[in-house]
Amino acid sequence: MKKTLLIVALSGLFIACNAQEKRAEMKSNLKVEKSEAEWKEQLTPEQFYVLREKGTERPHTGEYDMFFKDGIYHCKGCNAELFSSETKFDAHCGWPSFDQAISDSAIIEKTDVSHGMVRTEVMCGKCGGHLGHVFNDGPTETGLRYCINSVSLGFDEEAKKEDKK
């Protein structure tokens, strides 16, 4: 019995250390690092709640939920390009949905076990800001549905026009 408890305790310690190591590695790869005070000065309270505290906006309330103009969606925290309008679709879930990121380095994916669920969190690859979650129930050939908070996004219609030139 004591041996089993010791194995369980050591396993838990290993998992915790591994998770801490991965968080440190992720943070060291970020290109934008700011203090909490700097983020609070730059972002609105709702943007700070979502991007820095991993919050979620209420469904069907976001600016980009039913928005379908051509352009590029970028991170509100650091302006990094994240998603193209070409990959956006209406998932009827209440948040903007995309089937792929603009590039492999644009986002970071991490297992999220909060709220009694196992999900995959999506964060900005440049500043680490929380964007939303990705699910494997998408209707397109990728099979993915990136469910993203509008408040974490900005939109640039001109970026798409420049690409077409």
Q: Give the catalytic positions in this structure.
A: 147
Q: DSSP for 107-148?
A: EEEEEE-GGG--EEEEEETTT--EEEEEES--SSTT--EEEE
Q: For residues 29 and 35, is the Cβ–Cβ distance under 8 A?
A: no
Residue 141 tokens read as 């050939």
